[in-house]
Amino acid sequence: MTDLASQVETNRFVGSEFLLWLWFESEVLETNLRPTDGPPCAIWIETQITLNTDSDEARIKSAMPAATPEAKQALRQGKLPKQARLRAVIEEHEFSWVLKADALAVGSLKIPTELKAKDEPYEALYERMMITEKLEAVLEGLFTDFARMRLSAAWDGIFVPLFMRWARGTPIDEAAYSAEKAKVLRAAKKR
């Protein structure tokens, strides 16, 4: 495999961890996420989430699937989210899409548009791309913060124990979490 091809295949599980972190943040921060680079947004999981291990899978469908006891139980069984339908509000735009964790791929994305392809195809395409790029910019910003946290010593030392307590229903101190996160992001930015 070439270096680039191996980059594509290396550590695909990190995509599941990103989705797990989004879920955790969404719950603990009451959906209000603030990527370091990018505008603030509201993000939450809706209607479906699939969690798996190499040998087992749990598909949960409900209005708020991540809030069900089954979802947290799956985490406690060692499963990680494989894909989920997410909803986001970014500035005045609302988005709904399925995030496939192992490829960070977007599926079934619904975006608010005004122009119709049959009337003004290129203008409609331009509008669709402009709006889609707003979502991509937010996801990029969120992934950057996540990657900085994931590659810090605090991931295993501080954040994973927090995730474990959260998966067991223990209330998480939002301020303490945000302070630890800010410390990690500040240190990463200095490098």
Token output for 86: 């997410």
Q: Cβ closer to another protein: 97 or 177? A: 97
Q: Mutual orientation of helices 121-150 and 13-28 as an angle, nearest 10°?
A: 90
Which range in 25-33, 40-48, 63-71, 145-153 contacts another protein by CB under 8 A? 145-153
**Interacting residues with another protein between 35 and 54 (CB under 8 A):** 53
Q: Quick check: 64 binds another protein (CB under 8 A)?
A: no
Which range in 27-35, 86-94, 136-144, 172-180 contacts another protein by CB under 8 A? 136-144
Q: Quick check: 15 binds another protein (CB under 8 A)?
A: yes
Three-class secondary structure of residue 148 per DSSP: helix
Which amino acid is present at 139? Answer: L
Three-class secondary structure of residue 37 per DSSP: coil
Residue of 98, 89, 101 whose CA lies nearest to 19: 101
**CA 111 to each of CA 9, 18, 49, 125, 187: distance values in angstroms, whole numbers, following the listed order:** 30, 22, 20, 12, 36
Binds another protein by CB under 8 A, chosen from 64, 67, 151, 179? 151
Q: Cβ closer to another protein: 32 or 53? A: 53
Contact 23, 31 (CB under 8 A): no
- What is the contact surface with another protein in residues (CB under 8 A)? 4, 6-18, 20, 53, 55-56, 75-80, 97, 100-111, 117, 121-122, 124-126, 128-129, 132-133, 136, 143-144, 147, 150-151, 155, 160, 163-164, 167, 191
